[in-house]
Amino acid sequence: MGRSSSSCLWCRMDNPVLEAIKNRRSATRFDTGPLEEEKVQAILEAGRWAPSWLNKQPWKFIVVRDRLVKDRIAELAPTVYKLALSEAPLCIAVCVDTVEDPFHYVEDGAVATQNMALAAQSMGLGSLWIGVFSVKNERNSAEERMKGILEIPRNYRLVSILPVGVLKLAPEKTRRSLSEIVFREKFGVK
């Protein structure tokens, strides 16, 4: 399949996966009403089916609906995310076992998060990927304090928190053109 075929497929947007990818936005405002359990289970299934290194599937997902717990997590998040964490009917914490997968646990957690965000989008819901992973694994980092709130074991890392719900506002976003970001064969070669 040449460049024009794949470009044409993207333009037609008759593919539900490509449509979910293109239309997904970071939602910062949510309606506070509950989500159907069937949709929550479908989102979690999408995370479960994410690829992982050697199919280790090192993740655990914590579904947080309790408002007090969400508010405690929100206190540790950057200001722009506080309202989303409080308003969303639920948040999903994505944890990965560093013993089960010592080499690619961050990527494994990231791809599971992305699958869940796309699943939410495909069902007409919004999500907001909040990366909380502390690269240096500092003792008093937001990740470490959130792990304490959620009682996450020491050998797990908290990669992300994903608030999910019905959007109040649908943000508009643009993307750079492919000609700005794609090279052929070597970096810098158009």
Residue 12, domain member (yes or no): no
Residue 15, domain member (yes or no): no
Residue 184, domain member (yes or no): no
- Total structural domains within the chain: 1
Round to whole Å and give the CA distance between 44 and 62: 10
pLDDT band for 12, please (50, 70, 90 cuts). Answer: low
Higher pLDDT, 21 or 55: 55
Residue 113, domain member (yes or no): yes
Higher pLDDT, 15 or 123: 123
E strands in 83-178 = 90-97, 126-127, 130-131, 156-165
Residue 147, domain member (yes or no): yes
Containing domain of residue 113, as a range? 25-168
| pLDDT for res 2 | 42
Instruction: Give 75-108 pLDDT, tens digit per residue.
Output: 998 778 888 999 999 999 999 999 999 999 999 9
Residue 102, domain member (yes or no): yes
User: 42: domain CATH number?
Assistant: 3.40.109.10
Helix (H, G, I), strand (E, B) or coil at 124: coil
Cβ atoms of residues 163 and 84 within 8 Å = yes
Residue 89, domain member (yes or no): yes
Inform me whether the pLDDT recorded for 176 exceeds 50.
yes
Residue 149, domain member (yes or no): yes
Cβ atoms of residues 79 and 144 within 8 Å = no
pLDDT band for 141, please (50, 70, 90 cuts). Answer: very high
| pLDDT for res 3 | 45
Average pLDDT of the chain is 89
| pLDDT for res 81 | 87
